[in-house]
Amino acid sequence: MSFTLLPTNAYHVRPACSLFRVQLHILFGFVLGFLMALGTLLLYNHYQMETVQQRQHTTATEYWQTGYMMALQEVATEADTVQQQLNERVRVLCMVLTSPSQHASHAQHVKATWGKRCTRLLFLSSEEDVELGAVPVVESEADTYDDLWNKTREGFRHVYERYFDDYDWFVKADDDTYMVMENLRYMLYAYSPELPIYFGYQLVRYGVPYMSGGAAYVLSKEALRRFMTQAFDNATLCPRPHKFGIEDFYMGVCLQNVGVQLADARFAVSGDNKPKFMPLDLHTYMATDNTTEISEWLLTMTPHPVERGLNCCSNYSIAFHYTSPWRMYMYEYFIYHFRAFGVQHQANALPVQLSTEEVTRLFPSNYSADDGPLVDLATQNLPDNF
């Protein structure tokens, strides 16, 4: 074995290709490190944004809850006693329809505002949301506007099976509806929940009266019982679930066919014949410009003149549709916080409770259990796709 020794003053020369590989590795490491740092920064920023948004929502809802309680303490009056009586005697379950995409953008603001004054608040969705209080009643693929009739049916089934014995009145509302629960209870107090009756804003379609779904409607305990035990599974009395079903119209058909009285809320409070459930937002009714018009469908389907301005609505109005979240908080402020110095509203006595005969005279019905369906859709000359 032989070795070749280099002179002591000789240097080893690295091939050019090896030096290029080293430079390439350094460049690759730099680029990779930059991308990892950028990705980490973006993820952290996204996390921060979500955290800030969640904190803002939590702070906002806690602020409004705290402000609401403080306002009640500051203006303790005789009206508090009346409201306490109403809260105890008129137990209302609020069933609010929503969807997963609306949980954060709409439903949570219902919960932070008017929803907290329901005896029980329940959100119906296609996904469970424990913090919100949402329960799934339909599958995700069936949670669309076209399937609203089926979702409403399943919502009432859920409520009937779990909560029927605990409440007197059952509200169906959307997550863009704002309700004044004190006025609702004031109206309902005069009526027994054992009467088959439901209240809302009356519309007429194909000659059939019913209550607007967007403006919210309210079923008595007996109305819900009849809907579930007599109408729900009877295709002769109540349309089966299918796409494009008109939810509020179908509900009116089902209820009338089992003897539930339609009570136009205009006439539900003595001495006040103005609308109390509003299918549009308040801004539309109050607008003074020429660009904001009352929708043609509402003018056509409402069986009475639709007024604008201060005559549009009852002083004891109950519900407004198409209400954005910021308007919900605005209503909260003006109803529960704002005070005009020196202006006081005297507490009203509770209304006189009406007998069955008085309610029948006020809201007459042609229903007879022996005459078959009051509204027979097969004879209504409806469109083919109805």
Each residue's pLDDT tens digit, 223-267: 999 999 999 999 999 998 888 889 999 999 999 999 999 999 999
Closest CA to 276 of 183, 182, 160, 177: 183
Q: What is the pLDDT of residue 384?
A: 55
CATH classification of the domain holding 117: 3.90.550
pLDDT confidence of 275, banded at 50, 70, 90?
Answer: very high
Q: Are 295 and 280 in contact (CB under 8 A)?
A: yes
Distance CA 137, CA 123 (A): 10
Q: What is the pLDDT of residue 359?
A: 95
Using the predicted structure, report yes or no on whether residue 268 has a pLDDT greater than 60.
yes
- The amino acid that residue 149 corresponds to is W
Q: Is the dihedral of CA 298, 304, 309, 314 positive or negative?
A: negative
Average pLDDT over residues 32-49: 62
Would 144 be classed as within a structural domain? yes
Using the predicted structure, report yes or no on whether residue 371 has a pLDDT greater than 50.
yes
Q: What is the pLDDT of residue 137?
A: 93
Phi-psi category of residue 216: left, alpha or beta, with phi > 0 → left and psi -120 to 50 → alpha: left
In Å, the largest CA–CA distance within the chain is 126
Would 321 be classed as within a structural domain? yes
User: Tokens representing 314?
Assistant: 């009852």
Average pLDDT over residues 329-352: 86
Distance CA 20, CA 326 (A): 62
Q: Which domain holds residue 326?
A: 94-339+353-366
Q: What is the pLDDT of residue 192?
A: 97
Kindly provide the b/e burial profile for residues 202-230, where b requires at least 16 CB atoms within 10 angstroms of the residue's own CB.
Answer: bbebeebbbbbbbbbbbbbbbbbbbbbeb
pLDDT tens digits along 189-233: 999 999 999 999 999 998 899 999 999 999 999 999 999 999 999
Q: What is the pLDDT of residue 294?
A: 87
Would 165 be classed as within a structural domain? yes
Would 55 be classed as within a structural domain? no
Would 372 be classed as within a structural domain? no
Distance CA 76, CA 212 (A): 35
Residues listed for the chain:
386
Q: Name the more confident of 53 and 81.
A: 81
- Count of structural domains within the chain: 1
pTM: predicted TM-score of the whole model, two decimal places: 0.79
Would 362 be classed as within a structural domain? yes
Q: What percent of the chain has pLDDT over 70?
A: 78
Would 154 be classed as within a structural domain? yes
Q: What is the pLDDT of residue 3?
A: 47
Q: Provide DSSP, 347-383.
A: PPPPPPPPPHHHHHHHS-----TTS--SS-GGGS---
Distance CA 269, CA 276 (A): 10
Q: What is the pLDDT of residue 245?
A: 84
Would 63 be classed as within a structural domain? no
